[in-house]
């Protein structure tokens, strides 16, 4: 109970960081110590994983309290705040080194960028099939250097793909890597340059945490405009409740200005932007070392501890 309360306080700690964090940390520490001291009594009935989880959370809170280096992305009050202007060409600077930096940053999981790119498109295919949507036209919003393209080809071989991004350099690299990939559009002036109802589905992977939060509604409305009635949106994002994800984001050069989004906030914003039936599914629970457990991941979509989540909604 206290453990859950501590986690809740961390989540609630947006505006009152120090007070909530120290309270949360004290509680976790108390639970951790009392459990360790009473070894052989009540604790012996707990599976060992509880001890590991306690330690991870404890270390995570410790890091939040004492990290004197870069700001913690979930609590970074500068990124996405009212006075911060997003540099539209931010990813033009990172585009050439993106693949290598990304690979290095996620090496701890034992997987490469291909694994993470494929899992999203595979999950997206399952989502649209469950929704019974015929997919002929896909918008990849914030497509970057085209890491998803091979998997769109594999899982949606019949569909026309439109890659879209604010970074001209990223789009150019995507075209160079996959010349037959479909069309590309450069996003400018807060607009995706296509007509209304142009797509059956809209997809976005790890883009919204790079967009100032106050601009989310604008982009969710724009994606609503370009998606046809009956269509669907799927937004894959990092989960700020997962300590390893937060650590990875905090140490990644191109995530310097990132500000993570709680799943429930994104679901609310989707509704506010006119989307209906928003849902959350959590993903990526096991690193490569525990790959044998991955077949159970589809039973854990409700558990807010996955490294990422996908928010989906429909246009009515």
DSSP line for 15-70: S-HHHHHHHHHHHHHHHHHHHHHTTTTGGGGS-HHHHHHHHHHHHHHHHHHH--SS
- Interface of this chain with ligand SAM, residues 218 to 237, rule: CB under 6 A: 219
For residue 88, what are its two tokens? 């539209």
* CA distance linking residue 133 with residue 234, whole number of Å: 13
Task: Please work out, in degrees rounded to the nearest 5, the angle formed at the alpha carbon of residue 308 by the alpha carbons of 257 and 190.
Answer: 45
Nearer to ligand SAM, 218 or 271 (CB): 218
Nearer to ligand SAM, 144 or 243 (CB): 144
Query: Min. distance of Cβ 258 from ligand SAM in angstroms?
Result: 8
Task: Please work out, in degrees rounded to the nearest 5, the angle formed at the alpha carbon of residue 252 by the alpha carbons of 85 and 3.
Answer: 100
End-to-end CA distance of the chain: 40
Stretch that binds ligand SAM, among 13-21, 124-132, 139-147, 282-290 (CB under 6 A): 139-147
**278 makes contact with ligand SAM (CB under 6 A):** no
**187 makes contact with ligand SAM (CB under 6 A):** yes
**211 makes contact with ligand SAM (CB under 6 A):** yes
**181 makes contact with ligand SAM (CB under 6 A):** no
Strands annotated E in the chain: 137-141, 160-165, 183-186, 199-205, 227-238, 276-283, 308-314
Among 64, 206, 223, 310, binds ligand SAM (CB under 6 A): 206
Question: Per-residue x/- marks for ligand SAM, 90-129, CB under 6 A?
Answer: -x--------------------------------------
> Residue 311: which of 222, 212, 207 has the closest Cα?
207
**143 makes contact with ligand SAM (CB under 6 A):** yes
**210 makes contact with ligand SAM (CB under 6 A):** yes
**166 makes contact with ligand SAM (CB under 6 A):** yes
**165 makes contact with ligand SAM (CB under 6 A):** yes
Task: Please work out, in degrees rounded to the nearest 5, the angle formed at the alpha carbon of residue 144 by the alpha carbons of 259 and 110.
Answer: 75
* CA distance linking residue 250 with residue 120, whole number of Å: 22
Question: Per-residue x/- marks for ligand SAM, 63-92, CB under 6 A?
Answer: ----------------------------x-
Interface residues toward ligand SAM, by CB under 6 A: 91, 141-144, 147-148, 165-167, 170, 187, 205-207, 210-211, 219
């Amino acid at each position: 109970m206290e453990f859950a309360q501590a986690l809740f306080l961390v989540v609630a700690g947006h505006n009152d960081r120090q007070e909530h964090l120290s309270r949360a940390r004290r509680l976790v520490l108390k639970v951790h110590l009392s459990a360790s001291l009473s070894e052989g009594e009540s604790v012996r009935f707990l599976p060992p994983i509880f001890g590991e989880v306690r330690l991870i959370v404890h270390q995570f809170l410790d890091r939040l309290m004492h990290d004197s280096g870069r700001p913690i992305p979930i609590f970074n009050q500068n990124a996405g705040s009212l006075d911060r202007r997003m540099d539209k060409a931010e990813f033009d600077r990172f585009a050439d080194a993106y693949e290598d930096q990304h690979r290095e940053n996620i090496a701890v999981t034992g997987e490469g960028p291909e694994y993470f790119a494929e899992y999203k498109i595979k999950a997206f295919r399952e989502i649209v099939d469950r929704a019974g949507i015929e997919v002929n036209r896909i918008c990849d919003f914030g497509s970057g250097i085209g890491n998803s393209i091979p998997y769109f080809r594999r899982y949606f071989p019949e569909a026309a793909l439109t890659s879209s991004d604010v970074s001209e350099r990223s789009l150019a690299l995507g075209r160079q890597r996959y010349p037959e990939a479909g069309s590309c559009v450069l996003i400018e002036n807060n607009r995706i340059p296509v007509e209304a109802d142009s797509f059956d589905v809209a997809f976005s992977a790890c883009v919204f945490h790079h967009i100032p939060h106050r601009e989310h509604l604008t982009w969710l409305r724009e994606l609503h405009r370009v998606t046809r009635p009956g269509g669907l949106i799927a937004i894959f994002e990092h989960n700020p409740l997962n300590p390893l994800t937060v650590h990875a984001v905090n140490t990644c050069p191109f995530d310097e200005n990132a500000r993570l989004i709680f799943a429930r906030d994104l679901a609310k914003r989707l509704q506010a932007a006119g989307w209906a039936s928003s849902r959350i599914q959590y993903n990526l629970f096991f690193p490569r070392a525990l790959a044998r457990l991955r077949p159970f991941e589809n039973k854990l979509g409700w558990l807010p501890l996955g490294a990422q989540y996908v928010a989906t909604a429909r246009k009515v």
